[in-house]
Amino acid sequence: MADFDYDLFVIGAGSGGVRAARMAAGFGARVAVAEDLYLGGTCVNVGCVPKKLYVYAAEFGKGFRDAQGFGWDSGEPVFDWATLRDNKQVEISRLNAIYRNILGGANAQIIDGRARILGPSRVAVDGREFSAGKILVATGGWPYIPEFPGSEYAITSNEVFDLEDFPQRLVVVGGGYIAVEFAGIFNGLGADVTQLYRGPLFLRGFDQDLRQHAAQEIAKSGVDLRFQTQVASLRPGINGLHVTLDNGDTLHADAVLYATGRKPNLAGLGLENVNVRCDDKGYIAVDAHFQTSEPTIYALGDVTGGMELTPVALAEGMAFARREFGGLDARPEYDFVPTAVFCQPNIGTVGFTEEAARAEFGDVEIYKSTFKPMKHTLSGRDERSLMKLIVDRATDRVVGVHMVGPDAGEIMQGIAIALKAGATKAIFDSTIGIHPTAAEEFVTMREPWSGN
């Protein structure tokens, strides 16, 4: 590859791109990374990291009220949006600098600007041209707002973190991770939140029991959930945004957040100059080793339409670098990938849903438990947790675990290790629990659900 300026040219400095660049450079490759927006990608800047910080902020409001049942009375707390917003930005700037240092420390060159592919081995950035033996596209996804009358007045998750003023009345449109999480965040921060979803129940693709339980608990927390409802139009008025729904109802809001999906971030990338095939949804088509239909061009992460999770992109970036520059036959494994939805209460899940398990294994056993978290026996908060195990009856292997409740994401990481290792229900049953914790419920559910 000595005839090229670089062995690897990475377009996009998000989680997957940075991991691939750093690993490839570690194997001795000459690497460049082009980024036109912000180092760290969606997760660091307008995704996982700021979202989790805002979730912490939202939980404090309920925590102050909970504390009264334990004897604490500090008066009525006051929330200041500007403090949260600005402190968040300081933290994000710190992380941006860390990503820059990580790449610099690995001897990968950072090129600030939007890269455009000119040919199978040529890339241009702001008028400068570079050649590379391999080009990796890791530009991620971008929020999408469908066109409708007044759609220009809606905002996305890119803007919601940094609003100048706190939206006292917020309408959230969508039924996936992002919509559910932001509805909970702003509800917890004190806004009046209405969440609209065009389908009969949000979180499509998750276990049905989990979806129903989450809807029940989120509604109890104060979010106005309206299913099978869409926005017909938006228009500004003297009292904020006037929201007309498809059923004729109207709402007034300070902001309308659209979280109805993301599209691959491919604008201006120059794919028309090469033989890179995209699927019918616009995602870059790749094989098991992230190679596109143009042999020198690769793609990974959200831009390929797989699991849109930061740890998945990291695993893909590592596998790509190990194979292409480390001589290792590496590929990520996509079975039993855990995930969490940081709504309130949290959702954690790994493995098969009940519906998918019945289709895959046929005969399954279901174990379920619902209960009031111990903390709320004194706090008085009206909240219940759900825990569910799905077992393949033929092998006794636990093939799905689902939870709605405090710290579900933290708990599910350990459960995921067990499922990845092939743990059976007998192993769960023989494991001694930690008492008193919510997590011990997973090793004390002895009787199958009677409705099975």
Q: Are 172 and 182 in contact (CB under 8 A)?
A: yes
List all residues 6 or more positions away from 55 whose beta carbon is below 8 Å from its beta carbon: 181, 184, 185, 188, 342, 344
Q: Which of 268, 262, 259, 261 is nearest to 12 (CA)?
A: 268
In Å, how far are 359, 393, 401 from 362, measured between CA atoms? Answer: 6, 9, 17
Cβ neighbours, 10 Å, residue 260? 22
Closest residue by Cα to residue 370 from 398, 348, 403, 341:
403
CA–CA gap between residue 338 and residue 403 (Å, rounded): 11
Degrees, nearest 5: CA angle 398-412-419: 30
The distance from CA 82 to its chain's CA centroid, rounded to whole angstroms, is 25
Catalytic hit among 289, 376, 402, 435: 435
**Cβ atoms 15, 314 nearer than 8 A:** yes
Residues 375, 367: Cα–Cα separation, whole Å: 24
Compute the distance between CA of residue 419 and CA of residue 431 in angstroms, rounded to an integer: 14
Burial state string for 266-301 with b = 16 or more CB within 10 A and e = fewer than 16: beebbbeebebebeeeebbebeeebbbebebbbbbb
* Rounded Cα distance, 73 and 301, in Å: 47
Name the burial class of residue 323, with classes exposed (0-12), middle (13-18) and buried (19+) by CB atoms within 10 angstroms of its CB: middle
Is 242 designated active site? no
Whole-number CA gyration radius for the chain: 24
- φ, ψ (nearest 5 deg) of residue 380: 85, 0
Q: Which active-site residues does the annotation give?
A: 435
